[in-house]
Amino acid sequence: MPSKLIWEPGGAYWKYSGKITGQEIINATSVIYGDSRFDDLKYKLVDFFDVENIEINNEEITMIACKHRVASQSNPYIKNAILVRQKQNILANKFVTFFDDTPWSVQVFHDLDEANNWLGRVPRIQ
């Protein structure tokens, strides 16, 4: 499960931290796509900025990509921002491929403010 999942008006923000696995990403994806609020989502902000390491295999990558394709048929209008550190660009490029064959817009960011602006997101005060 992600370290934090916050449902916001029009979107979902999920933040990972520390060491995570492909199965954790699959589980988080299942939670969001299985929630009744998913049909009304306009954006997802997936924050990997504080991730130290991700253990993920090809089978898990295929499963995540499949979940995105199926979910995009239910709600094709979601903008997806992926937030990573500069040194995580290889990881970010891998995650962008999850969205191949979907109508979703996807963008990688290294700055939270830029991601928020692109999404039209007003962050909640924590």
Question: Given a cut of 90, is residue 72 above it in pLDDT?
Answer: yes
Task: Assess if CATH 3.40.50.10260 describes domain 4-119.
Answer: no
- Per-domain residue ranges of the chain: 4-119
Amino acid code (one letter) for 123 = P
Q: What is the mean pLDDT of the chain?
A: 87
For tokens 């933040």, name the residue: 15
DSSP secondary structure letter of residue 34: T
Q: Over the stretch 5-44, which tens digit does the pLDDT of each residue have?
A: 999 999 999 999 999 999 999 999 999 999 999 999 999 9
Q: Over the stretch 92-114, which tens digit does the pLDDT of each residue have?
A: 666 677 677 789 998 989 999 99
What is the CB neighbour count within 10 angstroms for residue 110?
15
3-state secondary structure of 40: helix
